Amino acid sequence: MKPLANSILFLAVFVGASSTFVSAADNADGETWIQLFNGKDLSGWTPKIRGHAVGENFGNTFRVENGVLKVAYDGYEKFDEKFGHLFYAEPFSNYRLRIEYRFVGDQAPGGPGWAIRNSGVMLHGQKPESMAKDQSFPVSIEVQFLGGTGSGERPTANLCTPGTHVVMNGELLTRHCTNSRSKTYHGDQWVTVEIEVRGNRLVRHTIDGVTVLEYSEPQLDEKDADARKLLAQGSAKMVSQGTISLQSESHPIEFRKVELLKLDE
C-alpha cells in the first residue's frame, strides 16, 4: 500500500466457506497449523477488485499454478488503479499467521511508482461485501511486503493503516506507514514472515525469528470516510478481529504458503 464473477459462484464459495475447506498439519511441537491456502485452488477465498463486484476475479488476477498462489496481471491492458484483495472467508482474532512470498517479473503497465515490488497482507479487516465498489483498500491493518530494487535499503514486514490507527511505544500512531527493522530482500528469493495477533492487545511482526515491529490497540480512524461508514453501521472503534486478505497492487507476487495457528484468548 502507498505510504496507503460471477455472483452465484461467489455466493457458493462465500456462504459455504468455512474451516472445512482447510487442512491442518501437525508440526514437531504438536502445533496444528491450518493451511489457509490448500496448494490446489482458491477454495475458501473471495476476490474484491476495485471497480468490480465482490467475487469477480477480473483478469484472472488471483490464480493457482504449480502449487503456488499467484497475483498476476497478464490479463490487464493497464492497471488503472484496480487495487485488489483476496479475502479468506473466516475472520480471526488470536492467531499466528505464517506467509511465504516472493516478488517476480515486472510491474503491470500503469501501476503507480510506489507500488513497485510492493504488496502485503491485511489483518483485522472489514468483510469484502461491506466495501464500496470503488474502494481501493479494506479498512484494516496491513503488514506491508516490500522487495528490494537491487540497491539500497528497503525493509519489509512494515505497517500501513488504511482507515485505522495503532498504539506504538505508548503513543497513538496516526501516520499511514511505519517501517520495520528488517533487512532488505533483493531479487526473487522467498521470504517468510510470521505475524502474531492477540486481538486488540498485540500485533508482532517477525522474520527469521527476530521481531521487527510491534504495536497494539488497532482502532478505526474516525476521520477516515470508509472507517466512519463502519462506525455508523455499529462497528466498535477498537478492532479485535476481522478478515485476512492478500493484496494485489500492480506488481506480480507469489505465495507458496499461507498458514495459521489459532491461539487461546
pLDDT for position 30: 73
Residues facing 118 on adjacent strands: 146
**Predicted confidence (pLDDT) per residue in 78-89, tens digit:** 999 999 999 999
Question: What does the alpha-carbon distance between residue 139 and residue 135 come to, in Å, rounded to a whole number?
Answer: 10
Report, as an integer, the average pLDDT of 206-211. Answer: 95
Long-range contacts of the stretch 200-203 (C-beta < 8 A, 24+):
200/238, 200/239, 200/240, 203/123, 203/141, 203/166
> What share of the chain has pLDDT > 90, as a percent?
88
Q: What is each CA distance from 15 to 38, 45, 61, 89, 122, in whole angstroms?
A: 18, 11, 22, 9, 21
For β-strands 45-49 and 68-71, DSSP reports them as: unpaired
Look at residue 1 and tell me whether its pLDDT is greater than 70: no
Contact 158, 215 (CB under 8 A): no
pLDDT, averaged across the chain = 92
What is the pLDDT at residue 147? 98
- For the stretch 142-194, pLDDT in tens is 999 999 999 999 999 999 999 999 999 999 999 999 999 999 999 999 999 99
Mean pLDDT within 60-82: 98
The whole-number average pLDDT for the span 3-31 is 48
Identity of the amino acid at 63: R
Please report the pLDDT score of residue 132 as a whole number.
97
Of 180, 172, 169, the closest CA to residue 142 belongs to: 180
pLDDT above 70 coverage of the chain, percent: 89
| Residue 23 pLDDT | 56
Residues 88 and 163: their CA atoms lie apart, in Å, by: 20
Give the model's pLDDT for residue 24: 62
Taking alpha carbons only, the member of 140, 159, 151 closest to residue 87 is 140
Residue 31: per-residue pLDDT: 84
pLDDT of residue 19: 41
What digits encode the pLDDT tens for the residues 131-147? 999 999 999 999 999 99
pLDDT digits (tens, 9 = 90+) for 24-50: 666 656 789 999 999 999 999 999 999
Gap between the Cα atoms of 15 and 178, Å rounded: 36
pLDDT given for residue 265 in this prediction: 82
**What is the per-residue pLDDT for 6?**
41
What's the longest Cα–Cα distance across the chain?
48
Yes or no: say if 253 and 97 are a contact pair by the CB < 8 Å rule: no
Convert the pLDDT of each residue in 98-115 to its tens digit: 999 999 999 999 999 999
Mean pLDDT computed over 241-257: 98
Secondary structure (DSSP) of the chain: -----THHHHHHHHHH-SGGG-EEEE-TTS-EEEESS-SSS-TTEEEEETTS-TT--GGG-EEEETTEEEE--TT-S--TT--EEEEESS-BSEEEEEEEEEE-S-PPTT--GGGTTEEEEEEEEPPGGGS-TT--S-SSEEEEEE---SSS--B-SEEE-TTEEEEETTEEE-SSEE--S--B--TT--EEEEEEEETTTEEEEEETTEEEEEEEEEEE-TTSHHHHHHHHTT--SB---BEEEEEESSS-EEEEEEEEEE---
CB under 8 Å to 29, separation ≥6 — which residues?
A: none
Mind listing the domains of the chain with CATH numbers? 7-262 (2.60.120.560)
Distances (CA, A) of 12 to 18, 45, 201: 12, 11, 35
